[in-house]
Amino acid sequence: MRPVGSKYLLEEPLGRGATGTVWRARQRETAGAEAAVPGQPGETVAIKVLKEELASDADVVMRFLRERSVLLRLTHPNIVRVRDLVVEGDLLALVMDLVEGPDLHRYLRENGPFTPVAAALLTAQIADALAASHADGVVHRDLKPANVLLQQYDGRMHPLLTDFGIARLADSPGLTRTQEFVGTPAYVAPESAEGRPQTSAVDIYGAGILLYELVTGRPPFSGGSALEVLHQHLSAEPRRPSTVPDPLWTVIERCLRKNPDERPSAENLARGLRVVAEGIGVHANSAQIAAAEGVGALLVPDPAPAPVPDTPGAADPTQVLPQGAGSYDPNAATSVMPHTGGPAGAADPTAVLPNRGAADPTAVMPPVPPGAPGQQGQGGPEDPHPWQNQLRAARDRNEQTQVQYVDPGQDPLRRRPQRQVARPQQQPPRRQAPPPGPGYGHPQQQPQQYAPQPQRPQPPQRYAPPAPPPAQPQQPQRPQREPRQPRQRSANPMRIPGLGCLKGCLFTIVILFVAGWLIWELSPLQEWIGTGKGYWEQLTDWFSTVTGWFEKLGGSGSGTN
């Protein structure tokens, strides 16, 4: 557990975005007066630790401190509360309320689109949050499903907008010098894409995209590359899905106007969406239906939208948004997008949008170097992008929920062979024999059982490098096969079929012969028979008599025939 300042301890990462990593953390001590929420020791919080690039940028640190009061005072039932800001050495962190629940991006992915009514009501709450922050002069600038957390209780979902001010922090003059600004391709307003001055209307555009995605499951503009997506933001009209009711489509269409001055204010958007939700619901009465159909009249633009100060493109109208390329992931982490300062192409974004790496689905905006309009690479086209860290961050973010790297040493699949290696040392020979490996000490009985040791070859597919070493210690077991010598037993004549029987018979005959001789010589048998002959003589006599009987028997048999 890593401490953050003296008051917090990081416990486990909850997720990673382009601007930092969010951790579940615990409060160690009550925070000082500078915190908006002092908290209690033991309380669980969420802490976003900003990336080192940001933390080491003097402008970001300055801005972080300057905006401290804005971030801390931004409180609304639909905004994740920032409790404290920590600046310590190279570390910048925002301490927030911990929200138990998925973000909207994940929820959509797992549950599919919302009904039009639910989508309207959920977006209305987000619009409420925007209205409050815009009134305070704070523009979110990175509105997207991943930045909406869903707190669930009593079977209801309560959306909370997070990451307020982060885009603005990341968009420091220091980072501008490196030709970057923050945004996410699928949610970037046309004026942001073009580097024109931005206002709170960019959030309304983001809300329109989000609403479209809630009812259809995907954002309106897609393409094989971020470049393509940006072109669509600039010039394509969103296609209306047949499932979207007229009044709701009116709202979406107004939010997605290319001209920011034609988009409704956040407050009017929230009101309009509630009217629509009532009018398209199954229980709507005729008045509600009529009100929903006339929603266009409610969607009045903001007469004085909150400006985005220091917008990268704002100071320099010639700036264009060179997008790189890569096929884009609509919900990829916030992209750090480059912009050129070159005048060329200012009026024609297509002229300055470089395309690079179109095949990478997670890629975000590649850079365009300063002073080289329309070109990438600081030193040449082959140079590595100064964006690669961000690209990697975006990619990491996308992968993290799918691929968890498993240390081979921790992998149970790999541990199994290790256990096999250990067993021979236990060597309780006979008992170990039936299980796989060992058979150690009984090679002759289980010679084939060694084959399973090659279970090892299974892991090799994944853990080719680590697997062999554990296998080696088993090599010495092979010589154990030599004890097969017992096979020499196969030379034992007793194992020749029939031979054992013959031997037994012969042995029995000898025994009988000797026993008979002893009886003949030592007992009164000889006298009883009264032959006076020797043992051998008597035997041959009996033998002749018996063979005579057989001959007679044979002779009488043939005479009969």
Ligand X SMILES: Nc1ncnc2c1ncn2[C@@H]1O[C@H](COP(=O)(O)OP(=O)(O)OP(=O)(O)O)[C@@H](O)[C@H]1O
Active site residues: 142
Comparison of 366 and 439: residue with beta carbon closer to ligand X: 366
* Contact code string over 408-447 relative to ligand X, x by CB under 6 A: ----------------------------------------
Q: Per rule CB under 6 A, is residue 18 in the interface with ligand X?
A: yes
Q: Where are the alpha helices (DSSP H) in 136-245?
A: 166-170, 173-177, 190-193, 201-216, 226-235
Give every CB contact of residue 364 below 8 A, 6+ residues apart in sequence. Answer: 18, 184, 185, 226, 324, 326, 328, 332, 333, 335, 336, 337, 387, 390, 391, 394
Q: How far is the CB of 385 from ligand X (least distance, A)?
A: 18
Please choose, out of 31-39, 140-148, 412-420, 526-534, the segment that lies near ligand X by the rule CB under 6 A. Answer: 140-148
Per-residue binding letters, 159-178, with ligand X (x by CB under 6 A):
---xx---------------
Q: How far is the CB of 162 from ligand X (least distance, A)?
A: 5
- Kindly tell me which of 42 and 476 has the beta carbon lying closer to ligand X: 42
Tokens of 348: 């024609």
- Pair type for strands 82-88 and 91-97: antiparallel
Cα 115 vs. chain centroid, distance in angstroms?
29
Instruction: For residue 15, state whether it binds ligand X (rule: CB under 6 A).
Output: yes
Options 53, 57, 84, 103; binder of ligand X; rule CB under 6 A: 103
Contact (Cβ atoms closer than 8 angstroms) between residue 123 and residue 273: yes
Q: Please identify, using beta-carbon distances, which residue of 21 and 420 lies nearer to ligand X.
A: 21
Q: Is 334 in the site for ligand X (CB under 6 A)?
A: yes
Secondary structure of 424-466 as H, E, C letters: HHHCCHHHHCCCCCCCCCCCCCCHHHHCCHHHCCCCHHHHCCC
Segment (H or E) for 129: helix 116-135
User: Looking at 93-101, 307-315, 398-406, 487-495, which segment touches ligand X (CB under 6 A)?
Assistant: 93-101
Q: Does 192 bind ligand X (CB under 6 A)?
A: no
Residues 6+ apart with CB under 8 A from 1: 9, 10, 11, 26
Q: Is 46 in the site for ligand X (CB under 6 A)?
A: yes
Nearer to ligand X, 18 or 71 (CB): 18
Binding mask 514-553 for ligand X (x = CB under 6 A): ----------------------------------------
Q: Which of 4, 5, 22, 78 binds ligand X (CB under 6 A)?
A: 22
Size of the site for ligand X (CB under 6 A): 24
Residue 149 phi, psi dihedral angles, 5° rounding: -95, 145
**Cα dihedral: 11, 16, 21, 24 (round 10):** -30
d(CA 145, CA 157): 14
How far apart (Å, rounded) are the C-alpha atoms in residues 306 and 87?
28
Stretch in the footprint of ligand X (CB under 6 A) among 14-22, 222-230, 373-381, 480-488: 14-22
Can you tell me which of 5, 20, 305, 338 binds ligand X, judged by CB under 6 A?
20
Strand order in the sheet with 2-4: 2-4, 8-16, 20-27, 44-50, 91-97, 82-88
Position 10 contacts ligand X (CB under 6 A): no
Which residue from 96, 121, 227, 256 is in contact with ligand X, where contact means CB under 6 A?
96
One residue of 99, 108, 251, 275 binding ligand X per CB under 6 A:
99
- For residue 356, what are the β-bridge partners? none
Instruction: List interacting residues with ligand X (CB under 6 A).
Output: 14-20, 22, 46, 48, 80, 96-99, 103, 142, 146-147, 149, 162-163, 333-334
